[in-house]
Amino acid sequence: MSAAARWYDLAPRMISGLVMVAVGAGAIWIGGGVFAGLIAVLAGLMVWEGARMFAAPDALRSGLLAAVAVGLALWLPGLVVLPLLLAVALVTVRAVDSERGPFFALTLWAILGCYAMGLLRAEAGAVWVLWLVSIVVVSDVAGYFAGRSLGGPKFWPRVSPKKTWSGTVAGWIGAGIVGALFAVSTDAGLALIPVSILVGFAGQMGDIAESAVKRLREVKDSSNLIPGHGGLLDRFDAMLGAALVVVILWALGLMPGVV
């Protein structure tokens, strides 16, 4: 592969990435209804993408239902959140005639991951959302450049043929560095470093899970909403996986520095 072909998508990825960083950072900083609204919109668009991948005839309705559900979940008492989101996933999956299991899993994963992001911002504060986002972004960037530059053996070729061990390990290192930086700037301590690596790995598994769905449906991207990245599921798959693991660790009392 020539150098030009290897980096053909770098420019649109960088431009789109900078726009997403600016919008996301602003929403994280403001918090409240602005961040919750953005999360609800993202959930709706991701479910819309999933519905289109599974050839649902009413993909727009599925997306709108998911957006409303996530918005309500971030406002309603916690006791009703899981039943609400589960009910929405069950209603949405009725729109497809085949492969309902994978579509249900994708839908529930998307709305739970978005809810986890909103909950983390509302209850733990902006700094921990920034930590999470930094882990995912740095891990992705480190994996992208290491994988493209070093190449080498594939991490899981049957599911994600582009992922290499060099990129995967580089992502772990990047996540560990982010953890170290936040460990010294918060009260979390050095225990945050292995937790950050675990969260980075969870993000990579989220990426691979979405790749498995795309291979199942024989599509390259979830949509073309983001130049250089594909769709929102393509861009936020790692964030969904990482956010879910963070909230689980938090619920179990295993998140250092978060009370």
- What's the pLDDT at 164? 84
Question: How many Cα atoms occupy the beta-carbon half-sphere of 117 within 13 Å?
Answer: 32
Q: How many alpha carbons lie under 13 Å from residue 51 in its C-beta half-sphere? A: 24
Q: What is the pLDDT of residue 138?
A: 93
Mean pLDDT for all residues in the chain: 89
Q: Specify the pTM.
A: 0.89
Q: 12 falls in which pLDDT band (50, 70, 90)? A: low
How much is the pLDDT for 126? 94
Q: pLDDT of 55-67, one tens digit each?
A: 998 899 999 999 9
pLDDT at 10 over 80: no
Over range 204-218, report the average pLDDT. Answer: 91
Q: Can you list the alpha helix ranges (DSSP code H) found in the chain?
A: 3-6, 10-30, 32-53, 59-73, 81-93, 100-123, 126-150, 165-185, 192-217, 232-251
Q: Is 8 helix (H, G, I), strand (E, B) or coil?
A: coil
Close Cβ partners of 210 (under 8 Å, ≥ 6 residues apart) = 106, 222, 233, 234, 237
Tokens of 58: 């009413």
Question: Would the pLDDT of 139 be above 90?
Answer: yes
pLDDT score recorded for residue 68:
97
CA distances to 148, 226, 245, 256 from 192, rounded to whole Å, are: 29, 32, 14, 6
User: CB–CB of 168/204 below 8 Å?
Assistant: yes
For residue 227 the two structure tokens come to 């130049």
How confident is the model over 158-194, as pLDDT tens digits? 777 778 888 899 999 999 999 999 999 888 899 999 9
Question: Does 6 score more than 70 pLDDT?
Answer: no
3-state secondary structure of 175: helix
Give pLDDT, residue 13.
66
Mean pLDDT of 140-167: 80
